[in-house]
Amino acid sequence: MKNTPTDPVPLAQALIRCPSVTPADAGALGVLEAALAALGFTCHRLTFGETPNLYARRGTEGPHFCYAGHTDVVPTGPAEAWTDGPFDAVVKDGVLYGRGACDMKGGISAFVAGLTDYLAANPHAPGSISLLITGDEEGPAKDGTTKVLDWLAARGEIPDMALVGEPTSRAALGDLIKVGRRGSMTAYITLFGTQGHSAYPQRADNPIHRLVRVLHRLTAQPIDQGSQFFEATTLQVTGFDVGNAANNVIPGEARAMLNIRFNDLHTSASLTEHLHAALRAEEARYEMRVDCSGESFLTQPGPFVDALRRAVVRATGAEPALDTGGGTSDARFIARFCPVAELGAVGSTMHKVDEAAPVAELRELAALYRMVLEEAFA
């Protein structure tokens, strides 16, 4: 193996300098494709709808290890709020600044650096390594990872294991491996009543009162107490509206919006029925639309998770925690096909002004990813 580890910072700077605010690519996937092609990867640029994606693979045999991530970033907000330009990729006092430094162009660059060193030491390593990189993770996530997975399934190329490089470490690099995520669903409820004068409520049917009772049914008691790997399911009322500009009119409709983050004790279908039951109990006349952005999933401890854990212990000397908290990621799509977990940088500055990644941490992450590959193919 080379005596000097590959530095991930130059590639991270090149990626950050591409202003790929979702859904724009701005050349980011081209920068990454060039780096991977130089390592012997066969690259496929896949566009679904208006979303650009990159799938690159080296090798044809199993086992097949896939690293998944995204090059799109969230908007920067006012550029003048940043100490330096959000896409200048400036390094100051040992810290790389720029949109995507933390989430997750820095992580992608660390994986490529670790991969480079792994291949240099193992030029005839068994199995296959691939990268599934989308430009759609920070957006609707409709034409990115999920569509690439369908494309891979049609080709018989589904990985045996996948690592998503989101910045999931909490306080120190590698302190946490995400082995699952809660599901997320949003319900839009319209409850119908009968409009009337507020001085004559007996001649009307106030939908607000009925909807308040429904919401009380849904929020008065917790849905569950959590499960072995998951915290309790939460239901939050995130919107309430009657569109009433008059103080003496009982409206004919009342609307509510609910967001539910749920564990592995439920599915979106079972929770939808839970909502219907609460509405029926109040004899409501209603319409409800439910959008589920992802079911809950869990990768049970086993060979893949064990390999990640061993790599973290080698790299940091500390045992990582297994966790399922937080929001959603593209791992929810991959979980339908193969074991998947998330392991990446400390996420303290993601989506913030002056987003940053310490250079030392990026280099440590590259070394960790090299060890992940060593353990996965051991």
Catalytic residue (one of 72, 138, 166, 342):
72
Q: How many CB atoms are located within 10 Å of the residue 286 CB?
A: 21
Please give the Cα distance from 161 to 155 (Å, whole number): 17
Instruction: Identify whether 137 is a catalytic site residue.
Output: yes
Strand arrangement of the beta sheet that strand 95-97 belongs to: 91-92, 95-97, 356-358
Q: How many CB atoms are located within 10 Å of the residue 168 CB?
A: 24
In 3D space, the residue among 272, 244, 111, 110 whose CA is nearest the CA of residue 187 turns out to be 272
DSSP string, 133-151: EES-TTTT-SSSHHHHHHH
Catalytic residue (one of 137, 264, 295, 375):
137
In a 13 Å sphere around the CA of 231, the CA atoms on its Cβ side amount to 12
Helix (H, G, I), strand (E, B) or coil at 344: coil
Please give the Cα distance from 142 to 176 (Å, whole number): 28
Please give the Cα distance from 59 to 125 (Å, whole number): 9
Please give the Cα distance from 211 to 206 (Å, whole number): 9
Q: How many CB atoms are located within 10 Å of the residue 225 CB?
A: 10
- Calculate the dihedral angle through the C-alpha atoms of 325, 330, 332, 336, rounding to the nearest 10 degrees: -150
3-state percent breakdown (helix, strand, coil) of the chain, nearest 5? 30, 25, 45
Looking only at the bridges linking them, the beta strands covering 128-134 and 64-70 are parallel
Instruction: Identify whether 25 is a catalytic site residue.
Output: no
Catalytic residues: 72, 137
